[in-house]
Amino acid sequence: MIEVKNLSKSFNDSKVLSDLNLLVEKGSIYGLIGANGAGKTTLIKHITGVFKQDAGEVLINNEPVLDNEKIKSRIGYIADDLYFLNGYSLKAMAKYYAQIYPHWNQERYTKMLTLFNLDEKKNLSKFSKGMRKQASFILAMSIMPIALILDEPIDGLDPLVRKKVWKLIVEDVADREMSVLVSSHNLKEMEGICDSIGILNEGHMILQRNLDELKSDICKIQIAFDGEEPSDLQEKLNILHKEKRGSVNQMIVKGNVTDIAKLLQSYHPLLLDVLPLSLEEIFIYELGGEGYEIQGIIF
């Protein structure tokens, strides 16, 4: 379980993280999204025990992470900007990791090496960006982490490899109750993998929810009436967005999807379609009304 409580951090005079809270349950995957400069990497560097917070707490399994050798030995971390010891091959890195990580699993390492088909003797600096990401992933997973922190993990990976990566992560989450925090700009992929989502904007956590709950709480409606639209409809629905295309009204409505469908049926519309929203659409409409820079967040 990863827990961040009231975390604040400033770089010189500018506040980067402000009174931030976050919870990644045991055996769940948490997606962290936000625009460039929102504070995602700074938050991750606190969770991995690199940065020292100005205020608040960063806990993994209820233990503070900073300068905690024991907890850090159970954190798998794939940084956005990868770094390996100069001149080292994957084999040499694995040998080093095997000495410093007490739960290193050589069998898993060998299996993953075969799965990703990497040359372990080749100097890591000669690897492509995607191969370096894979190497980093193999190392992170072979330490048998209880918490996996991934900063832009699939950036540079081809679709097939991405699929393999997510499969292995999901297996570990299910089998070993590993907690995963993943920061990504790829909302489609996040939608398919994450249990919870947090949106970070300018150092503030502006939304943090279970993805299924979030999805069941908002929908897209296409509706047409014989004649004028009932006058009280506007009052009865929490409409975030409305658009008229010919005789069809298109609405984004917040609220329980079943209740909304039942209410609309009672007006006997000529046409009624209730559609789920993609994660990307949820963010646009959910937060657009709150005055946030949605375009900036989901680009």
Partner 1 sequence: MKYKASFFSFPLFKENLKRFWAVSALYTFILALGGFLPLIMSSEYKSSWVHIVRVFLSHQHPANVVFLVSAPVFVVFLLFKYMQQSHSTAVIHALPFTRKQLLFSNYVTGLLLIIAPIIINCILLLVIKEPVYSGNPQIDIFTSSAIMNWAISSFVISLFVFSIAILACMITGSSLLQVVFGIGFIFLTPALFSVITVYFNQFLFGFSISDTLEKIIVSTSPLVIMLTHHEVSDKLIAIYFIVAILLLFVSYAFYKARHLETATDSISFNFIKPIFKYMVAFCGMTVLGLYFMQLGGNQTLNMYLGFFLGSFIAYLIAEVILQKTLWVFKNIKGYLIFLIIAFLFILTINTDILGYEKRMPNLAHVESVYVNMHQHDKEGITDPENMKLAYDYHQSIIDNKNILEKDLLSPQSTNRKSYVSFTYRYANGKEFNRSYRIMNDFVKNNPYMKKLYETEEYKNKFYSDIFSIDKEDLAYLDIRSEHLDRPGTLIKDSDEIKELITLFQQDLLSKTHEEFNNSLMPMGTIRLNYLSDSDNEKYSEKPIHALSFSYDYKKTIEWLESHGYLEEFLVTSEDIHYMTVRKITPENRPMSSYVGDRESLPLSTSELMVITDKAQINELLHTVEAYSYYLNDFYEVYIVFKDNQGSYYGYYSEKTVPDFIANYFNNQSL
Residues of this chain that bind partner 1 (CB under 8 A): 11-12, 42, 45, 48-52, 67-70, 72-73, 75, 77, 79, 81-87, 96, 99-102
Residue 15 or 164: the one with the smaller Cβ distance to partner 1 is 15
Residue 13 or 235: the one with the smaller Cβ distance to partner 1 is 13
Give the nearest distance from C-beta 84 to partner 1 in angstroms: 8
Give the nearest distance from C-beta 100 to partner 1 in angstroms: 5
Gap between the Cα atoms of 227 and 266, Å rounded = 15
SS3 content of the chain, % helix, strand, coil (to 5): 35, 30, 35
Residue 12 or 231: the one with the smaller Cβ distance to partner 1 is 12
Query: DSSP letters of 194-217?
Result: -SEEEEEETTEEEEEEEHHHHHTT
Residue 12 or 117: the one with the smaller Cβ distance to partner 1 is 12
CB within 8 Å of 81: residues ≥ 6 apart: none
Give the nearest distance from C-beta 177 to partner 1 in angstroms: 21
Give the nearest distance from C-beta 187 to partner 1 in angstroms: 25
For CA atoms 34, 37, 38, 43, the dihedral sign is positive
- The b/e string for 80-111 (b: 16+ C-beta within 10 A; e otherwise) is eeeebeeeebbbbbbeebeeebeebeeebbee
Give the nearest distance from C-beta 139 to partner 1 in angstroms: 11
Gap between the Cα atoms of 37 and 21, Å rounded = 18
